[in-house]
Amino acid sequence: CHFKCGNACAKDVCNTSDNSYFRDIADAALSRRSILGLGAVASAALVVGVETVGATAAQADTLVAPQGGGKLAFKAIAPVPRTVDAVTVPEGYDWATIIRWGDPLFNNTAQFDINAQTEKRQAGQFGYNNDYLNIIVDKYSGRSGVLVANHEYTNEDLMFEPAWFAANKAEAAKIAMAAHGFSVVEVKRVKSGTPWAYVRGGERNRRITATTPFAVDGPAAGSDLLKTVADPEGRTVLGTLNNCAGGTTPWGTVLSGEENFNQYFRCTGSASDARYGLSDVATERGWEDVDPRFSARNPGYENEINRFGWIVEIDPQNPTSTPVKHTALGRFKHEGANVRIADDGRVVAYSGDDERFDYVYKFVSKAKYRRGDRKHNMTLLSQGNLYVAKFSGNSPAAQIDGSAAVPTDGAFDGSGSWIPLVKDGASMVPGMSVEEVLVYTRLAGDKVGATKMDRPEDVEPNPVTGKLYIALTNNTQRDTTGKATVDEANPRTKNRDGHVIELTERNNDATATEFAWNILLVAGDPSKDESTYFSGYPKDKVSPISCPDNLAFDSKGNLWISTDGQPGTIGYCDALHKVTLTGAERGRVEQFLAVPAGAETCGPLIHDRDGSVFVAVQHPGENGTFQDPTSFFPDYVLSPSKAKRGEVYGPRPSVVQVFSSTKGNGKNK
């Protein structure tokens, strides 16, 4: 955890605000429900009738058709014990590696040699710990495209030989900086359904690292809060850090969230620093010893920390474009961002703040989407309204007792509102300017009484129905001494396994300020844990699932959930699951794959029309060391002397494609 999130879970909770909890507002919520016209009957209809909201009759027919068919039919695999170092896929499927940490992107980049790594080499190679993933297939071709991945963080224990690392800390830090950021790499294939291969030297290939210039835009661009001695204009930032999940916009750009950025900076220990988990202690990575901007103690760099924690947008089709940091979407530990176009043409971006007791946000653009006008559309995230979510339950507080027993009305559900933080260019938060709201967004959320959630990870609208899904990965401090109590939207004491909320905007209008919500599933191993819930689907017919993290959808609107943390909770390797959302099988969780020991499943991408599923296998063998690996994924070189050119003895974060196979069960390749 120290590399990944700066040991966030071992530290104090950042949100010490005294926001009202649900129990304090239950009565007010009930009266609000009548104001909204969302009485008990209407609300139940919203939940039960999910398949028809926002879908045409034809789409609804498709949605209630038997699930699991088409080119991605599969029989769920059994959960895989956490020490198994294999990619496990269903019967009839096989897997292949598309690209791995260190694979050269350019013709003049040296072949990977783990014992001869340099900053320059790494800056031309695929980065470390891939998280968000997309493969954007070129129009008309179908046989070419670009693969976009981000590189969340580095694990120096696995990347460097210990004696070399101890003697070369500065060079190692520079290599690590070059292993962060993004990779854009062209891919090609023989035909649909066959494995993609990456193109070394592709015209669109690009690395973005911790030193690549980004333009800052939106209302906080040029603010005094963003100025440093190196950038007195407050409009250009070097690099992006800790990019976790992301999303691809309808105009073909990629968004990604700067998540646990705090761990890279030494700060001065102000109140706002503490709210972001920043402190005045030397960092684990020690980048402040290499580059003065990583310490706020260095005169002129007090504001460098304010230049991270944003949603960034990159254009993968143009390798010379300047990537952008969007201040209009606020600054927090963004997991990612996902966009939906509202009926009136405005675009709505949803984002979660991945920290215990932090919030869910949405941004609504001022300007409208124009089909085919890419230049215009790339300005849409620069100006608009920013909201934070407040959830209210509809069951008596006494029935939300922390056991996650379903209340007598049959559901964890209720209504909610999007509370404005910035509206029509003005701050809606007393005592804070627009710039302050955007730079210290967590503090703004505290002031308006946003609902403290159990670590919001991916927040993603279903492209078929418009409904929003919120992965709440876990929060073992929920309802413990001195911490926020349970509420109907976060109903489990010491929520170890997480849950998923389904949210329906009023009238299915993405710009609405009111919504209905319900819990889709309360995660865990149902064979051992009574507090699990799968929307009423029989618990003996689902795969165990814990710590939901990244979300994706297939073309029929089924939800796919990847996990981060199952080994430490239910004892199984992290996984990718399909969840049926509609019809009689709603709530059915079926495990599609498992990733190798120590890894988490990231960036799921479901190309069901091609019969392919892609995952970014992040931090395989994380608990091992350079000399004593616990994973050998993906090349399975089992002895140092057997490594061929470009291979390593030990694990490498990689992008994997799973596809239909006629040649056996595809297991343990």
Binding site for ligand FEO (CB under 6 A): 152, 244, 259, 335, 354, 457, 549
Select the binding partner of residue 394 from Ca ion, ligand FEO, none (C-beta < 5 to 8 A, by kind): Ca ion
Alpha helices in 476-625 (DSSP H): 566-569
Kindly tell me which of 72 and 606 has the beta carbon lying closer to Ca ion. Answer: 606
Residue showing tokens 């950038």: 231
Select the binding partner of residue 413 from Ca ion, ligand FEO, none (C-beta < 5 to 8 A, by kind): Ca ion
Select the binding partner of residue 8 from ligand FEO, Ca ion, none (C-beta < 5 to 8 A, by kind): none
Which residues ranging from 211 to 270 are in contact with Ca ion (CB under 5 A)? 244-245
Q: Does residue 150 bind Ca ion (CB under 5 A)?
A: no
Kindly tell me which of 563 and 612 has the beta carbon lying closer to ligand FEO. Answer: 563
CB of 335 to ligand FEO, least distance (A): 5
Distance, in Å, from the CA atom of 165 to the CA atom of 624, rounded to the nearest integer, reads 16
Q: Does residue 395 bind Ca ion (CB under 5 A)?
A: yes
Q: Coil, helix or strand for 294? A: helix
Kindly tell me which of 239 and 352 has the beta carbon lying closer to ligand FEO. Answer: 352
Which residues ranging from 542 to 561 are in contact with Ca ion (CB under 5 A)? 549
Distance, in Å, from the CA atom of 540 to the CA atom of 533, rounded to the nearest integer, reads 11
Q: Does residue 473 bind Ca ion (CB under 5 A)?
A: no
CB of 246 to ligand FEO, least distance (A): 11
Select the binding partner of residue 152 from ligand FEO, Ca ion, none (C-beta < 5 to 8 A, by kind): ligand FEO
CB of 565 to Ca ion, least distance (A): 8
CB of 643 to ligand FEO, least distance (A): 30
CB of 5 to ligand FEO, least distance (A): 7
Distance, in Å, from the CA atom of 255 to the CA atom of 245, rounded to the nearest integer, reads 9
- Residues 58 and 631: beta-carbon distance below 8 Å: no
Kindly tell me which of 14 and 26 has the beta carbon lying closer to Ca ion. Answer: 26
Which residues ranging from 312 to 341 are in contact with Ca ion (CB under 5 A)? none
Distance, in Å, from the CA atom of 156 to the CA atom of 163, rounded to the nearest integer, reads 12
Residue 538 CB neighbours (<10 A): 10
Select the binding partner of residue 355 from ligand FEO, Ca ion, none (C-beta < 5 to 8 A, by kind): none
Kindly tell me which of 448 and 471 has the beta carbon lying closer to ligand FEO. Answer: 471
Contacts of 590 (CB under 8 A, 6+ apart): 68, 74, 76, 542, 543, 577, 578, 579, 580
Select the binding partner of residue 407 from ligand FEO, Ca ion, none (C-beta < 5 to 8 A, by kind): Ca ion
Backbone angles phi, psi at 149, to 5 degrees: -135, 150
Distance, in Å, from the CA atom of 515 to the CA atom of 495, rounded to the nearest integer, reads 24
Residue 182 CB neighbours (<10 A): 26
Alpha helices in 620-664 (DSSP H): none
Residue showing tokens 């994706």: 552
Select the binding partner of residue 409 from Ca ion, ligand FEO, none (C-beta < 5 to 8 A, by kind): Ca ion
- Beta bridge partners, 216, equal 325
CB of 183 to ligand FEO, least distance (A): 17
CB of 333 to ligand FEO, least distance (A): 7
Kindly tell me which of 228 and 546 has the beta carbon lying closer to Ca ion. Answer: 546
CB of 276 to ligand FEO, least distance (A): 15
Distance, in Å, from the CA atom of 336 to the CA atom of 373, rounded to the nearest integer, reads 24
Q: Give the full edge-to-edge strand order of the sheet including 324-326.
A: 236-238, 213-217, 324-326, 311-314, 254-258, 243-248
Kindly tell me which of 454 and 549 has the beta carbon lying closer to ligand FEO. Answer: 549
Q: Does residue 407 bind Ca ion (CB under 5 A)?
A: yes
Kindly tell me which of 465 and 490 has the beta carbon lying closer to ligand FEO. Answer: 490
Select the binding partner of residue 259 from Ca ion, ligand FEO, none (C-beta < 5 to 8 A, by kind): ligand FEO
- What is Dmax (Cα atoms) for the chain? 72
- How buried is 69 (Cβ within 10 angstroms: 0-12 exposed, 13-18 middle, 19+ buried)? exposed
Kindly tell me which of 101 and 626 has the beta carbon lying closer to ligand FEO. Answer: 101
User: How many residues are there in the chain?
Assistant: 669
CB of 227 to ligand FEO, least distance (A): 29
CB of 192 to Ca ion, least distance (A): 29
- How buried is 527 (Cβ within 10 angstroms: 0-12 exposed, 13-18 middle, 19+ buried)? exposed
- Residues 647 and 637: beta-carbon distance below 8 Å: yes
Q: Coil, helix or strand for 585? A: helix
CB of 460 to ligand FEO, least distance (A): 13
CB of 245 to ligand FEO, least distance (A): 7
Distance, in Å, from the CA atom of 640 to the CA atom of 628, rounded to the nearest integer, reads 11
Q: Does residue 394 bind Ca ion (CB under 5 A)?
A: yes
Contacts of 344 (CB under 8 A, 6+ apart): 368, 511
* Segment interacting with Ca ion, rule: CB under 5 A, options 154-162, 217-225, 250-258, 399-407: 399-407
Kindly tell me which of 25 and 617 has the beta carbon lying closer to ligand FEO. Answer: 617
Kindly tell me which of 244 and 421 has the beta carbon lying closer to ligand FEO. Answer: 244
Kindly tell me which of 411 and 589 has the beta carbon lying closer to Ca ion. Answer: 411
Distance, in Å, from the CA atom of 345 to the CA atom of 22, rounded to the nearest integer, reads 34
**Cα-Cα-Cα-Cα dihedral of 526, 532, 537, 541, to 10°?**
-10
Residues that bind Ca ion in the complex, under the rule CB under 5 A: 244-245, 394-395, 407, 409, 411, 413, 457, 549, 564
